[in-house]
Structure 1
Amino acid sequence: MNALEQMTKAIDYIEENLDGEIDEKEIARIALCSSYHFKRMFLFLIGMPLSEYIRRRRLTLAALDLQTTDAKVIDIAVKYGYSSADAFSRAFQAMHQVTPSHARKKGVRLKIQPHVSFTLSLRGVLEMKYRIVEKEAFSVVGIKERFSYVDNLGASVGQMWGSVTEEIMGKLRSLARADPGGLVGAYSEMYEDNTTDYYIGVITTEECPEGFVKLAIEAQTWAVFEIEGPLPQAMSDVWGRIFSEFFPTTGYEHTPAPEIEWYSAGDMSSERYESEIWIPVVGG
């Protein structure tokens, strides 16, 4: 059984318990991986955080209950994990754009979050270049903003890069004191509210100067993926392949630590442009 089949079994467990308690430890046990690894895999393969998927699946079933049963709104709310009718109504309207009571009317347009499953297609056409690196503790020093995985994270990150002045870029480059040199983008761990802190900075072992912030990263093992091609497409393609091909077929797991994108100097639109993705891993 491959890793994606195990993840599908974990999704089946979630589906069977949408009207009850969903235990993250049980999800990880079924998927044969850590809870953090499962959530990261899910996010990149499906395109939304696991908690958001569960929320949308429950609201999908709640809409069906409203249309096909005479159950009270509060009873349906409690069934799908809401402590009050008001909290349920706010969540329901956010997804369906109508109130729960209005959803009972004939002809009302509602939304569905389908039950997902995972498949692995290995064509073997494109090779992936990666290396495993043991790296001592270091820091990323630079600027940061907090973004949501539920919103368009890529667009938010792109806007942040576009707002950085050449003066700040120059100051950051002068602080680079460790391998790899040059500018990096770093994502902190994914927080419980589906947000992450994104840093634009450099890798250094020096102290953080005034006006910048520091992301301290512990010593650990990294899978480093080498990329050649214009940004952002080349990097986006490799991000997808890391989670759809590398992790399911190698036995490595994502550990709960920041992820880093490294950018070389030069023309980012060039077919020869070089960049890297650094993923903290365990196993193999």
Structure 2
Amino acid sequence: MNYRIEEMKAFSVVGFKEQVNTQRAYEDVPRLWMEAQEKGIFEKLWNYREQDHPIRGILGVCADGDYGRNEHFDYIMSVVSKDTPQEPIIQRHFPAATWAVFELEGDPSGIAEMWKRL
């Protein structure tokens, strides 16, 4: 599993948000990636991306789950961007912080395995 620790300045992401049941996340998140590929979501997001930012690519952001204490959390398939999107795309801001960045290449089914390893 490739990962790195990075200090990041404040940044924003734009993306598509789905609510995920915490108990079903291992099944639902890979399904969301497969559906996004079929619906052309990656291409739509790619047009918003900030090309020079150190975080590149499509991100899967887990938010508002109170660290696993809620029955649901928001999963935001997104890219780093300075642009203000139009609905249904949302924008989310993050303050400067230290981040653990995990990289995954290949089939979306690998997401569940990565989470289990974490």
Decide: shared fold, TM above 0.5: yes
Question: 1:80-138 CA distances to partner (integer Å, 9 max, x unpaired)?
Answer: xxxxxxxxxxxxxxxxxxxxxxxxxxxxxxxxxxxxxxxxxxxxxxxx64322000111
Counterpart pick for 1:202 among 75, 79, 101 = 79
TM-score, length basis structure 2: 0.74
Matched, 1:216 2:93: yes
> Structure 1 residues 228 and 157, CA, compared in 2 at 3 Å: closer, same or farther?
closer
- Percent of residue pairs identical: 31
What residue identity is the alignment partner of 1:156? Answer: D
The answer to whether the Cα contact below 8 Å between 2:62 and 2:74 also exists between their aligned partners in 1 is: yes
CA distance in 1, matches of 2:49, 2:81: 5
Q: Confirm whether residue 157 of structure 1 aligns to residue 33 of structure 2.
A: no
What's the TM-score once normalised by structure 1's chain length? 0.35
- Report matched runs for 1:32-71 at 5 Å: none
Matched residue pairs, number? 112
Give yes or no for contact 2:33–2:108 (8 Å, CA) kept in 1: no
Question: Larger helix proportion, structure 1 or 2?
Answer: 1
Question: What residue number does 2:14 align with?
Answer: 141
Q: Which amino acid aligns with 1:159?
A: R
User: Is the counterpart of residue 182 in structure 1 residue 48 in structure 2?
Assistant: no
Structure 1 or 2, whichever has the larger Rg, is 1
> Gaps (5+ residues) in structure 2?
none
Letter in 2 for 1:241: R
Say what the alpha-carbon RMSD is for the aligned residues.
Answer: 2.4
Question: Aligned partners of 2:98 and 2:54: how far apart in 1?
Answer: 15
CA displacement at 1:198 relative to structure 2? 0.6
Residues 239, 201 of structure 1: CA spacing in aligned structure 2 closer, same or farther, 3 A cutoff? same
Residue 116 of structure 2 is matched in structure 1 by 240
- SS of the equivalent of 1:175 reads coil
Verify the 8 A CA contact 1:188 1:198 in the aligned structure 2.
Answer: yes
Distance 1:179 1:207 in 2: 20
* Counterpart mapping for 1:1-284 below 5 A: 129-150=2-23, 152-164=24-36, 165-166=39-40, 168-177=41-50, 178-191=53-66, 192-227=69-104, 231-233=108-110, 235-242=111-118
1:221 deviation in Å? Answer: 0.1
**Shift of residue 176 of structure 1?**
0.5
Post-superposition, which runs of at least 4 consecutive aligned residues in structure 1 deviate over 3 A? 225-231, 235-238
